[in-house]
Amino acid sequence: MEKTKMNKILKVIVAAPAILFLFIGVRWLAAPAGVAAEFGMPLLDGLGRSTQIGDFAAFFIGIGTMMLLGVATQRNTWFLAPAILLSLTAVFRVVAWLAHDASFAVEQIAVEVVVSALLFFAASRTATGQA
């Protein structure tokens, strides 16, 4: 398969989860109770609610935006940043399970690992970003 066709396919494959992350982030802003329940948590009150909505919306919108910037600019930095965030999220879920009696979130960890791997691969196929 020629390189340009492969790059177009890779762009589509990366854009799909990016759009999903953006959608989840917007849901944290527009309908936080529903998305909180899907994440297995209640929507908190007061400062806790502010933290949930602010942190989760920023996390998902930030990751989705960086992924789309990577697709648009073909600069690997935009793929590396969300790959690192998602990788750390997966690692810290395991820490939560080992050290804090949290449920082992197999499905969530799998998504984070697969998307991280995709982003690291995309970064390896694109130009180095400038500092």
Q: Which residue segment(s) compose the domain that 105 sits in?
A: 3-124
The answer to whether residue 76 sits within a structural domain is yes
Which H or E element spans position 24?
helix 3-30
The answer to whether residue 130 sits within a structural domain is no
All residues at 6 or more sequence positions from 121 whose CB lies less than 8 Å from its CB, including other chains: 10
Residue with tokens 């997966």: 90
CB 58 within 8 A of CB 82: no
The answer to whether residue 97 sits within a structural domain is yes
**What confidence score (pLDDT) does residue 128 get?**
78
Residue with tokens 């989840």: 24
- Which pair of structure tokens corresponds to residue 88? 């750390």
Averaged pLDDT, groups of 10, the chain, 131 residues long: 74 98 99 98 98 99 98 95 99 99 98 99 83 43
**What confidence score (pLDDT) does residue 127 get?**
80
Q: How long is the chain?
A: 131
The answer to whether residue 42 sits within a structural domain is yes
The answer to whether residue 99 sits within a structural domain is yes
The answer to whether residue 111 sits within a structural domain is yes
Q: Number of folded domains in the chain?
A: 1
The answer to whether residue 131 sits within a structural domain is no
